[in-house]
Structure 1
Amino acid sequence: MKRKVVTLCGSVRFWNKIQEMSERLELENEYAVIGIIPHVMDRDLTEYEKDTLGELHRIKIDLSDAIFVVNVDGYIGESVKKEIEYAKQKGKEIFYLESAD
């Protein structure tokens, strides 16, 4: 059985929920999950670093069959909105933690 590859998208302010969903998707739904990295350095990212991380996340989406949006309380930030649009342009399936109506 070929497993679907899914990239997580969401605000790192919901890091605990992102980690929880990564585990659930892999163990309960049997997806291969590509995660995100938290911003752990005690400084603001430069514009170059932000651009680089954005580019790397788009590559992760390219490698995936789908994205899973971790939108706690319906929150979707600007960068995640861009990731969703990118996934749509690439014809990827899009799943949401909470309904995105």
Structure 2
Amino acid sequence: MELIDHLKTDKWEKADINEQKGFSEYRVCHRKLVADGHFLYMVQPLNEWGEQEGEPCQAHLHEAAGKKDPIHGINNIFFKLDGAAGDMKRGVIGVDVEGDCVIKK
């Protein structure tokens, strides 16, 4: 299954990662189902060598298709987050799992 299969397709769309900018690598430290279709991840920013860099933040993913975590079992991931670096709470607006890329419409 592809990542898009775990998200609401009226809110998310497949994207070519080569055409997207603003993605950064994160380590998922904690994950929690907040409500149906809403997941909260505590994430730690990583630098280009995969080392922790900066302060952890909350990444909120909305519009998942149900209660199954779309990134279950994935620890390092590329997210595009809204807001500014350093903000404690940020929304997920793009996800890239090994080239399987989706962005919010």
Compute the TM-score of the two structures, normalised by the length of structure 1.
0.25
Q: Which has the larger radius of gyration?
A: 1
**Higher share of residues assigned helix:** 1
**Higher share of residues assigned strand:** 2
Compute the TM-score of the two structures, normalised by the length of structure 2.
0.24
